[in-house]
Amino acid sequence: NLMPFPMFEPLSFHNMFQPFFDMIHRAQQAMDVHLHSMPYHFPTAEFPGENANRTVCKEIRHNSTGCLRMKDQCDKCREILSVDCSTNNPAQMQLRQELNTSLQLAEKFSKLYDQLLQSYQQKMLNTSSLLAQLNEQFSWVSRLANLTQGEGQQYFQVTTVSSHNSDPSVPSGLTKVVVNLFDSQPITVTVPEEVSNPKFMETVVEKALQKYRQKHRE
């Protein structure tokens, strides 16, 4: 018995499952809303060139700074970079050296951070897809919550069983069964087993549940 104290009534299906369903749905929504709408493009290992080009195009369109990345292709621009002002101020050269070193380091760490951020995003997406799976796994059960509140309901009722002998429209060797399952319209399943087969009802239920789940997924 789930309940630790006899003074409490056993749980109803509704009490137990409906909140779970709502919560899983909310959790998944909270994860998905932003994860799929992030404007930031992580640099990808597969197409580094393409990604870099996309960034440069974006920078050119935005404020033209992307063009400065092409300075190596012009002699005079390269010359600017190698201008030596140390005769005027030796400290300036030292400072420039320090700047270049820290800039390279910062670029390296920025790239590393990008990679880690991408892995982190992947972990978040994995969690989100597990929540989606949880939702998928759970929703058909939790859907039953609303259906199990009345007294004395029949959740699974076999209404008709026919074979080729009683109904010529049923192919030979098969058995057609019509069942009512939960709140659905009558579900018709055709199984290869005969009524006398010990597996008969298991096969019927499996097929009926499959149809029920499929219908609710749709």
Partner 1 sequence: DKAISDKELQEMSTEGNKYINKEIKNALKEVKQIKTLIEETNEERKTLLGTLEEAKKKKEDALSETRDSEAKLKASEGLCNETMTALWEECKPCLKQTCMKFYARVCRSGSGLVGQQLEEFLNQSSPFYFWINGDRIDSLLENDRQQSHVMDVMQDSFARASSIMDELFQDRFFSRGPQDTFFYSPFGPSQRRSLFFNPKSRFAR
Nearer to partner 1, 44 or 65 (CB): 65
Angstrom distances, CA of residue 202 to CA of 63, 116, 144, 163, 214: 68, 49, 20, 18, 18
For residue 47, the one-letter residue type is F
- In this complex, which beta carbon is closest to partner 1, that of residue 45 or of residue 150? 150
Size of the site for partner 1 (CB under 8 A): 116
92 contacts partner 1 (rule: CB under 8 A): yes
Shortest CB 218 distance to partner 1, Å: 19
Query: What is the per-residue binding string for partner 1 in 146-185, x denoting contact by CB under 8 A?
Result: --xx-x--xxxxxx-x-x-xx------------x-x----
Provide, rounded to whole angstroms, the least separation between the CB of residue 212 and partner 1. 10
How far apart are the C-alpha atoms of 155 and 144, rounded to whole Å? 10
Residue 209 interacts with partner 1 (CB under 8 A): yes or no: yes
Is residue 133 close enough to count as binding partner 1 by CB under 8 A?
yes
Which CB sits closer to partner 1, 45 or 62?
62
Question: Please, which residue, 114 or 183, has the CB nearer to partner 1?
Answer: 114
| Contact flag: residue 61 with partner 1 (CB under 8 A) | yes
Query: Which residues inside 6-45 make contact with partner 1, applying CB under 8 A?
Result: 8-16, 18-20, 22-24, 26-28, 30-31, 33-35, 38, 40
